[in-house]
């Protein structure tokens, strides 16, 4: 091992993919730390390396395998013995094939096996006793101001283009008590924004015996978050999950931000049916109009897919027009990827790659036009922001923060050139300029008593 005999063995975690993987890596980190391991600063300081992989798209699978091979090559070049443990979605999707394909990897851990990571790492390093160790409470190691919390895993939708149900299994809600304990622990650590995630957050609780709804869970979490002055944010809602009860929660709960991420993928009824999804332009537009009408200041984010098999030129143009008509604040654009094992990969009338890229770019152009305009519309507002960090590479150093209408790691940030604050602090700023998805803020100066008195 790289450390002294008396020093605990160290681990390195490399995380690829989405926020759900970040949560999974954080839990594995906490389990290993609780078991007496220490976290390494880099490859040269590690006794074992964990790479938490993504396999949502073929490109993500390739990136995960390439990152694993690059890590193995770096170890070989350094002439060191550093076992590699591949975790997450790639082992879940291709587990039986991997040992023969990747002899460089010492162990493979599927997503549903990650709570046993201590035993796996102990085994790889030849240590004893790891199987008896495990979770003894809220295990999170978040150091930032925002934290993702999974309220469910898996998916029952089986959209024809998506491999997630085959990777993460059927939909499974976490118990509300477990979520509450995790949220309370994070807030006690100084986290001031809780971002609730899952593959399909709107149907939370439908698989549990007592059937708590997402709206009921949010009311319980609001009671916890409010005394801390913390924000609650919900991502990955499907249109069918927007019930009257849930819309009322967005309207009434002080901690719950009026920000909704509803991935529609398309608006054409025919394309949606081929995707094994429901909806049509009229019902979707009515939903978004209702959200903006009933929830003041509602910010809308969505996801759109270009080039699904059989999509016509007219349907591609219909999607562009729909996005513009609704006026989404943020749109993420994907080009269809024929994922192995999914029904859509075998559909006829696959859109040629060059045409798919053209349609993708047109959607990106619409998305940027909408997003830049929505960002610029906030100039002149006075808003609260959460300070995420400091950019020391500019002179003078800038505070980097995000406002309530900016989801962490997704929607741009607020640059504050003057003022002092600590990470996690809430500041009130005046938004004075914008560029693309970014905003410039200036700390709000409270008027002096003399000024107030005139």
Least Cα distance to 111 among 151, 29, 167, 34 occurs for: 167
What is the torsion angle, in degrees rounded to the nearest 10, for the CA atoms of residue 255, residue 261, residue 267 and residue 273? -100
Identify the CATH number of the domain defined by range 382-449.
2.40.50.140
The whole-number pLDDT of residue 351 equals 97
The whole-number pLDDT of residue 135 equals 44
Among 58-62, 247-251, 426-430, 438-442, the minimum mean pLDDT is found in: 58-62
Is the bond leading into 396 cis (omega within 30 degrees of zero)? yes
The class that CATH gives domain 10-132 is: alpha beta
The whole-number pLDDT of residue 453 equals 41
- Rounded average pLDDT over 103-112: 91
Residue 253 vs residue 450, higher pLDDT: 253
The whole-number pLDDT of residue 140 equals 61
Reduced to 3 states (helix: H, G, I; strand: E, B; else coil), residue 400 is strand
The whole-number pLDDT of residue 75 equals 72
pTM of the predicted model, to two decimals?
0.85
- Rounded average pLDDT over 310-315: 98
267 labelled ligand-binding: no
30: how many CB neighbours lie within 10 A of its CB? 17
Residues 6+ apart with CB under 8 A from 266: 272, 275, 277, 304, 305, 308, 311, 315, 319
Highest mean pLDDT among 13-17, 50-54, 191-195, 318-322: 318-322
Residue 81 pLDDT > 80 = no
CA distance 202 to 180: 18
The whole-number pLDDT of residue 205 equals 93
- Rounded average pLDDT over 255-260: 97
Report long-range pairs for 354-363 (Cβ below 8 Å, ≥24 apart): 355/307, 356/306, 356/307, 359/306, 359/307, 359/311, 359/316, 359/335, 360/306, 360/307, 360/333, 360/334, 360/335, 362/306, 362/316, 362/320, 363/304, 363/306, 363/319, 363/320, 363/323, 363/331, 363/333
- Rounded average pLDDT over 375-381: 98
pLDDT band for position 139 (cuts 50, 70, 90): low
Least Cα distance to 387 among 413, 351, 358 occurs for: 413
- Cβ atoms of 110 and 86 within 8 Å: the answer is no
Residue 60 pLDDT > 70 = yes
Residue 363 pLDDT > 90 = yes
C-alpha distances out from residue 87 to 9, 116, 163, 181, Å:
19, 11, 17, 26
Among 199-203, 221-225, 429-433, the minimum mean pLDDT is found in: 199-203
pLDDT band for position 386 (cuts 50, 70, 90): very high
The whole-number pLDDT of residue 73 equals 83
436 labelled ligand-binding: no
- Rounded average pLDDT over 376-399: 90
155 labelled ligand-binding: yes
HSE toward the beta carbon, residue 32, CA cutoff 13 A = 27
Cross-strand bridge partners of residue 146: 193
Residue 138 pLDDT > 70 = no
The whole-number pLDDT of residue 212 equals 83
Among 50-59, 67-76, 86-95, 382-391, the minimum mean pLDDT is found in: 67-76
User: How many helices (H) does the chain have, and how many strands (E)?
Assistant: 14, 18
- Rounded average pLDDT over 367-383: 98
pLDDT band for position 446 (cuts 50, 70, 90): low
CA distance 161 to 265: 11
pLDDT band for position 127 (cuts 50, 70, 90): confident
The whole-number pLDDT of residue 448 equals 41
CA distance 94 to 163: 12
The whole-number pLDDT of residue 1 equals 46
pLDDT in tens, 332-342: 999 999 998 89
Identify the CATH number of the domain defined by range 146-376.
3.80.30.20
CA distance 238 to 236: 6
The whole-number pLDDT of residue 149 equals 93
Residue 82 vs residue 343, higher pLDDT: 343
- Rounded average pLDDT over 83-95: 90
Reduced to 3 states (helix: H, G, I; strand: E, B; else coil), residue 116 is helix
pLDDT in tens, 347-356: 999 999 999 9
Least Cα distance to 166 among 157, 178, 179, 174 occurs for: 157
> In three state form, how does the secondary structure of 150-214 look?
ECEECCCCCCCCCCHHHHHCCCEECCHHHHHHHHHHHHHCCCCEEEEECCCHHHCCCCCCCCCCH
Among 248-262, 277-291, 433-447, the minimum mean pLDDT is found in: 433-447
CA distance 57 to 270: 24
89 labelled ligand-binding: yes
Length of the chain equals 454
Least Cα distance to 109 among 77, 98, 268 occurs for: 98
Residue 331 pLDDT > 90 = yes
Q: Where are the domains of the chain?
A: 10-132, 146-376, 382-449
CA distance 346 to 271: 15
Residue 229 pLDDT > 60 = yes
**313-326 and 281-294 are packed helices; what angle lies between their axes, rounded to 10 degrees?**
10
Least Cα distance to 386 among 174, 178, 158, 144 occurs for: 144
Task: Give the torsion sign (CA, 125, 91, 197, 336).
Answer: positive
The whole-number pLDDT of residue 304 equals 98
Among 152-156, 229-233, 252-256, 313-317, the minimum mean pLDDT is found in: 152-156
Residue 132 pLDDT > 50 = no
Round the average pLDDT of the chain to a whole number and report it: 89
Q: Percentage of the chain with pLDDT > 90?
A: 63
The whole-number pLDDT of residue 133 equals 43
- Rounded average pLDDT over 12-38: 88
């Amino acid at each position: 091992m790289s450390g002294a005999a008396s020093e605990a063995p160290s681990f390195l975690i490399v995380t690829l993919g989405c926020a759900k993987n970040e949560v999974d890596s954080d839990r594995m980190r906490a389990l290993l730390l609780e078991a007496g391991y220490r976290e390494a600063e880099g490859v040269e300081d590690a006794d074992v390396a964990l790479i938490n992989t993504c396999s949502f798209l073929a490109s993500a699978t390739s990136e995960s395998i390439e990152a694993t091979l690059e890590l193995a090559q770096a170890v070989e070049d350094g002439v060191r013995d550093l076992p590699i443990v591949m975790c997450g979605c790639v082992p879940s999707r291709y587990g039986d094939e991997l040992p023969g394909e990747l002899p460089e990897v010492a162990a493979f851990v599927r997503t549903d096996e990650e709570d046993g990571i201590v035993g796996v790492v102990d085994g790889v390093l030849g240590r004893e006793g790891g199987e008896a160790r495990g979770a003894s409470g809220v295990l999170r190691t978040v150091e930032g101001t925002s934290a993702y919390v999974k309220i469910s895993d898996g998916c029952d939708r089986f959209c024809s283009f998506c491999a997630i149900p085959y990777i993460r299994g059927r939909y499974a809600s976490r118990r509300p008590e477990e979520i509450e304990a995790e949220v309370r622990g994070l807030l006690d650590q100084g986290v001031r924004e809780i971002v609730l995630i899952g593959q399909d957050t709107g149907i939370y609780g439908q698989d549990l015996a007592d059937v708590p709804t997402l709206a009921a869970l949010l009311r319980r979490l609001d009671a916890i978050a409010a005394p801390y002055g913390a924000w609650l944010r919900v991502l990955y809602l499907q249109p069918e999950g927007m019930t009257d009860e849930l819309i009322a929660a967005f309207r009434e709960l002080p901690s719950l931000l009026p920000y909704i991420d509803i991935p529609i993928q398309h608006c054409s009824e025919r394309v949606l049916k081929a995707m094994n999804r429901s909806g049509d332009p009229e019902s979707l537009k009515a939903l978004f109009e209702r959200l903006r009408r009933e929830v003041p200041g509602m910010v809308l984010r969505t996801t759109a897919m270009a080039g699904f098999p059989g999509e016509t030129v007219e349907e591609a143009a219909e999607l562009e027009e729909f996005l513009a008509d609704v006026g989404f604040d943020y749109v993420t654009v994907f080009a269809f990827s024929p994922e192995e094992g999914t029904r859509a990969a075998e559909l006829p009338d696959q859109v040629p790659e060059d045409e798919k890229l053209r349609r993708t770019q047109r959607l990106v152009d619409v998305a940027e036009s909408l997003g830049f305009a929505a960002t610029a519309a906030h100039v002149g507002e006075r808003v609260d922001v959460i300070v995420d960090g400091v950019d020391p590479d500019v002179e003078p150093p800038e505070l980097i923060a995000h406002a309530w209408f900016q989801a962490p790691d997704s929607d741009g940030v607020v640059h504050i050139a003057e003022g002092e604050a600590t990470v996690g602090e809430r500041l009130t700023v005046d938004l004075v300029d914008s560029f693309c998805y970014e905003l410039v803020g200036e700390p709000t100066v409270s008027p002096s008593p003399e000024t107030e008195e005139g």
